[in-house]
Amino acid sequence: MMRNFICALALLAAAPAGAEDWKLSSSVNYDTGKYGGTTRVDTVYIPVTLKRYFLNTDLSATLPFLRQSSTGQVTRVGGRPERVSAGRASSAGTSEAGLGDMLLRGTYLVKRDGAGSFDLSLGGRIKLPTADEKKGLGTGELDQGAGFEFGKELNPGLKLLADGYYTIIGDPAGTDYNNQLALSLGFYKPLQQGLGLTVLYETSSALADGSTDPRSLSALLEKRAGGGLAYTLGLTLGLSEGSPQYGLSAGLGGKF
């Protein structure tokens, strides 16, 4: 499956591109929380994403830089810090940095009405184990998932958003992580010319038995500028012990 996905990505990316068929974006993301433990984990996540648009399809590749500081041992699993063992905390703080896991994503538009007020897409995701598992920046295993993305315009000033993904989580030796079901529900609202607000409630199943399901509420402001540029500012608030207490983000992207 992974080989076919990578081959398709390479072949489609080699197709002739038109105006604004590509997008390059990056952001700086900071979050902090205890994730059900007694000590705090601070994370800085800086992804760089290259995205290619086609008529009914888009493909993207993301390579992130990651810095993770904590007291005790944590491993990044399914995009979140996961404590290796609740009983192995240390009084000494540790900080690790390096490349994170590469993410390959693709969506295919299944249906859209003539007015563009309704759309349904199927998506696939593959996480390649490019992060150093010895530093706790990844598991060293492949994750792969599939799901749907849905949008429905309720009126000219409000669009309903929903998506759901099921991901098979790769297990390192001696570990048995649960596969993950992730769901989100929210809306997009244009505020003024070139400025829009996206608000999402997100929840996913816990990766380890006995852990709390992550739940959070996020808001993202996007400002579209000239030349295909867009700026974003985001805020995330955790709603359960399995989520960060809060997160902040700032990003920049451009189409070409």
- What's residue 116's pLDDT? 67
- What's residue 1's pLDDT? 46
Give, rounded to a whole angstrom, the gap between the first and last alpha carbons of the chain. 30
- What's residue 20's pLDDT? 66
DSSP character string of 206-222: -SSTTPPPPEEEEEEEE
Provide the CATH topology of domain 2-10+22-255. Answer: Porin (2.40.160)
Distance CA 56, CA 135 (A): 39
Query: Can you list the alpha helix ranges (DSSP code H) found in the chain?
Result: 2-13
User: For residue 108, what are the β-bridge partners?
Assistant: 57, 122
The pTM of the full predicted model, rounded to 2 decimals, is 0.88
Exposure of 10 by Cβ count < 10 A (0-12 exposed, 13-18 middle, 19+ buried)? exposed
Q: Which of 216, 228, 233, 223 is nearest to 255 (CA)?
A: 228
**Main-chain phi, psi angles of 133, to 5 degrees:** -70, -25
Provide CB contacts within 8 A for 32, sequence distance 6+.
Answer: 40, 41, 42, 43, 244, 245, 246, 247
Provide CB contacts within 8 A for 137, sequence distance 6+.
Answer: 66, 68, 76, 96, 98, 99, 100, 101, 131
Rg from Cα positions in the chain: 19
**Main-chain phi, psi angles of 25, to 5 degrees:** -145, 155
3-class secondary structure, 83 = strand
- What's residue 174's pLDDT? 87
Tens digit of pLDDT at every position of the chain (256 positions): 445 445 545 555 555 555 569 999 999 999 999 988 888 999 999 999 999 999 999 999 999 999 999 876 788 998 888 876 544 444 457 899 999 999 999 999 999 887 768 999 999 999 999 999 999 899 999 999 999 999 999 988 899 999 999 999 999 988 899 999 999 999 999 999 899 999 999 999 999 988 899 999 999 999 999 888 999 999 999 999 999 999 999 999 999 9
The full set of domain ranges for the chain reads 2-10+22-255
DSSP character string of 100-135: --EEEEEEEEEEE-TTSSEEEEEEEEEEE--S-GGG
Amino acid type, 173: A
3-class secondary structure, 188 = strand
Distance CA 189, CA 199 (A): 9
Distance CA 110, CA 20 (A): 22
